[in-house]
A = this chain, B = another copy of it.
Amino acid sequence: MKILIINPNTTASMTAKIDLAARKTASADTAITTVNPFFGPPSIEGYYDQAFAVPGLIDQIHHNGGHADAVIIGCFDDTGLDAARCVSVGPVIGIGEAAFHMASLVSGRFSVVTTLRQSVPAIEQNLVRYGLSSRCSSVRACDVPVLELERPGSAAQERVADQISRALSEDNAEAIVLGCAGMAELAQAMSQRFRAPVLEGVSCAVQLCEGLIRLGLSTTSLGGYQRPRPKSFSGIFSSFSPA
């Protein structure tokens, strides 16, 4: 099985980190390829960045998607998921939805702990769209920039832990979803510390992709996920014209 993971921002170090998280749980016969766009925003923090991440993400599907059995979008807000589904032969999974579905299988209710407050609305909207908002107790921001998480000796981990603690005690959450790819490394430690399932999306998405591939399932071609109708895009997007 060949899984293409696209980190929709252009920061290679984050791409490497996502690649590492993916390989940890992938099956022996799964080949993971993790890439990022050639152009676009170096990080995705809100709707504006999202908009400029999608073309570069689609570009990677055009370049590398033909060889892949499935595609994973490596950003917790599932950037460009719908567009990617329209042009991919195999299934496409976002790491946000992957974590939500997996958390629903091991708990009655989960909470999401993400980085910045401005990311909360997009996550909440995704939960409503996926249908899983009734399974989510709360989406909490810990006001920690992603890079701060990686700095040795920072108080960042404790701020994440603090929100996990409050989600469990105040919101009746029974499991925790870490709402940022940069928190992936914390999952195991936090799970042990709080004696509760703590999920991160990259590894969840790898497992779900492998599952869909083995089942021979791919995105429907009905409704909104029909392939794009042929037309000529102009200007900088001319090479993206659907044939």
Interface residues of A (CB under 8 A from B): 10, 25, 27, 38-43, 45-52, 54-56, 58, 80, 82-83, 85-87, 91, 93, 97, 101-102, 104-109, 117-122, 125, 128-135, 168, 172-175, 188, 195-197, 199, 203-204, 207-208, 210-212, 214-226, 228-229, 231-238, 240, 242
Question: A228 to B104, Cβ gap below 8 A?
Answer: no
User: Which chain B residue lies CB-closest to A117?
Assistant: B223
Q: Measured between C-beta atoms, what is the minimum distance from A91 to chain B in Å?
A: 6
Q: Decide yes or no: A83 and B224 within 8 Å by CB, A104-B101, A207-B212 being known contacts.
A: no
Question: A242 to B48, Cβ gap below 8 A?
Answer: yes
Question: A45 to B228, Cβ gap below 8 A?
Answer: yes
Q: Give the chain B neighbours of A210 by CB distance below 8 A.
A: 207, 210-211
Other A-B contacts than A49-B231, A207-B211, 16 sampled, CB-CB below 8 A, are A27-B27, A42-B234, A49-B228, A52-B240, A54-B54, A91-B106, A93-B105, A106-B217, A109-B223, A120-B223, A128-B134, A131-B133, A175-B220, A197-B220, A199-B215, A207-B214
Which 4 A-B pairs give the minimum distances between C-beta atoms?
A39-B235, A207-B211, A121-B224, A47-B82
Alpha-carbon distance A117/B225, docked complex (angstroms)? 11
Of the A-B pairs whose beta carbons lie under 8 Å apart in the complex, a sample of 30, sorted by A's number, is A27-B27, A40-B235, A41-B233, A45-B228, A45-B231, A47-B83, A49-B228, A49-B231, A50-B83, A51-B83, A52-B58, A101-B105, A102-B212, A102-B215, A106-B217, A108-B224, A108-B225, A118-B224, A119-B224, A120-B224, A128-B128, A129-B129, A172-B223, A196-B221, A197-B217, A197-B218, A207-B214, A208-B208, A208-B211, A236-B236
Q: Measured between C-beta atoms, what is the minimum distance from A55 to chain B in Å?
A: 6
Alpha-carbon distance A42/B237, docked complex (angstroms)? 11
Most B CB contacts (10 A, CB to CB) among A51, A91, A233 go to: A51
Most B CB contacts (10 A, CB to CB) among A208, A211, A218, A231 go to: A211
Question: B51 to A55, Cβ gap below 8 A?
Answer: yes
Q: Measured between C-beta atoms, what is the minimum distance from A50 to chain B in Å?
A: 7
Question: A214 to B172, Cβ gap below 8 A?
Answer: no
